[in-house]
Amino acid sequence: MGRLSLTAPIARLRSGRRSWKSEMAQTLILPGFNGSSDAHWQRIWASDRPGSLVVEQHSWSCPTLSDWHEKLDEALSMTDGAFLVAHSLGCLLAASYADRPLAGKIEGALLVAPCALDTATMMHPCLAGFGSEPLSVLPFPSILVASSNDPYMSGAEAQRRALLWGSELVSIGAAGHINVESGFGRWSQGYDLLDRLFHASHQSRQSLVSAPRRYAGNSSLR
């Protein structure tokens, strides 16, 4: 699968203006271990952005991957397509979803501060039921947002994971686990990153639609 270009300059992002389509796009928010508190940027995002929904899990503190898959199945089944905004363990949920029947409904994923499962399990043994590390390339465009001092994933591992998943890597410096404890409440940069992802996905779909018309007009291919 070819990787999408997510680095093209977009004037609306530089000016701070966001497109109506991106703001209204269906977005499923995937918190990580222990969920996200009301002060967490994910919960604020759900309030700020129309069309955003937090995928609530039965168990945040002792999760199993199969249960989390089922809740994401339910959420995706009620959409025509959605972007994922995941944090920490939620990133592993998104990445492990690549071969699920409804994966085709995922239009893109913003993967913020993913955790290395072995590291997270050493710190929180109850994560032992969360399967294995998802390491396959993702069938949808994605941006991996990493911190240089994240206790759950080193910078080197973030680079490796982005390469394996086929994600664009965006490092935001020393930002801890990009959560409330490291000062992340409302996070406007996250909105801009999703806008980049939205435009890349939209441009890719437009290219696929227009490709047959280009080839039909090329006499050398007849």
Q: Choose from 34-38, 58-62, 150-154 the range with maximum mean pLDDT.
A: 150-154
- Write the CB contacts of 43 (distance below 8 Å, at least 6 apart in sequence): 36, 37, 54
26-43 burial, b if ≥16 CB within 10 A, otherwise e?
bbbbbbbbebbeeebbbb
Which band of pLDDT confidence, cut at 50, 70 and 90, is reported for residue 25?
low
Distance, first Cα to last Cα, the chain: 26
State how far the Cα of 208 lies from the Cα of 212, in Å rounded to an integer: 8
Q: Is residue 4 scored above 60 in pLDDT?
A: no
Residue type, 12: R
When pLDDT is averaged across residues 21-40 and rounded to a whole number, the result is 82
Q: Report the alpha-carbon distance of residue 147 to residue 137 in Å, rounded.
A: 21
Structure tokens at 66: 């199969």
Instruction: Give the rounded percent of residues in the chain with a pLDDT score beyond 90.
Output: 65
Higher pLDDT, residue 79 or 180: 79
User: What confidence tens digit (pLDDT) does each residue in 111-164 have?
Assistant: 999 999 999 999 999 999 899 999 999 999 999 999 999 999 999 999 999 999
SS3 content of the chain, % helix, strand, coil (to 5): 45, 15, 40
Map residue 150 onto helix, strand or coil.
Answer: coil
pLDDT single digits (tens) 41-56? 999 999 888 889 999 9
Average of per-residue pLDDT across 97-105: 96
Q: Which residue has the tokens 């809740």?
A: 71
At 16, list the tokens: 């701070």
Residue 73 has pLDDT above 70, yes or no: yes
pLDDT band, very low/low/confident/very high, at 202 (cuts 50, 70, 90):
confident
Predicted confidence at residue 219, as pLDDT, reads 34
Q: Quick check: 199 pLDDT over 50?
A: yes
Q: Which of 153, 157, 143 is nearest to 177 (CA)?
A: 153
**Average pLDDT of the chain, as a whole number:** 83
